[in-house]
Amino acid sequence: MATHCKRITIKPGDMHLVRDIIYTFDPENLLGHAHPERIAELQRLQRAAEKRRRQELADAREKKRRLMAARRPVPKKLEHFTKERLRGAIVGRG
């Protein structure tokens, strides 16, 4: 937000933040519904996070496979990470 000559300019990013906050506290409020561009951006971020997660999992499985082929012990943390289960992607991380 910027103030110029007693006028306040609200940038689109600020409005997205305000709408997200309103929606968090009151999903039924019409002010809280996201703009279609924002929805598309969030979906893009979710797809990117899911792609990163799948790549990390594939890399961990490859590392586990190489360790097992070399008859070396697989660390417990790696063993736990490579188990088959669904895990939700975290948006905005990475």
The domain locations on the chain are: 1-34, 45-94
pLDDT of residue 90: 54
For 38-62, the pLDDT digits (tens) are: 778 878 989 999 999 999 989 988 9
Separation between Cα atoms, residue 85 and residue 66, nearest integer Å = 21
pLDDT at site 6 = 67
Contact (CB, 8 A) for 52 and 94 = yes
Q: Are 91 and 49 in contact (CB under 8 A)?
A: yes
* Regions of the chain short of the pLDDT cut 70: 1-6, 34-35, 84-94
The CA distance from 33 to 27, in Å, is 8
* Structure tokens belonging to residue 52: 């990163």
- Model pLDDT, residue 79: 81
